[in-house]
Amino acid sequence: MERGTAADALAVIALRESIRRDVEHGRAVHVREALELGASWEDVAAAIVI
């Protein structure tokens, strides 16, 4: 198996960070929606297994 370059590794890091930000933003939107619809913070914590 051939190893990539430093640029390849940096591209993977950047892509993973972008995906992480998108996921976290989506979670925030759904948390806000759940709270607006009457869920408690305890309900939210249970839903995301904190």
Domain boundaries, the chain: 24-50
Whether 1 shows a pLDDT value over 80: the answer reads no
Structure tokens at 3: 């190893």
Q: Are 26 and 48 in contact (CB under 8 A)?
A: no
Give the pLDDT score at 49: 86
Report pLDDT digits (tens) over 6-50: 999 999 999 999 999 999 899 999 999 999 999 999 999 999 886
Give the pLDDT score at 50: 66
**Rounded to the nearest 10 degrees, how much is the dihedral formed by the CA atoms of 25, 30, 33, 38?**
-140
Q: Which amino acid is at 33?
A: E
Indicate the pTM of the whole model. 0.61
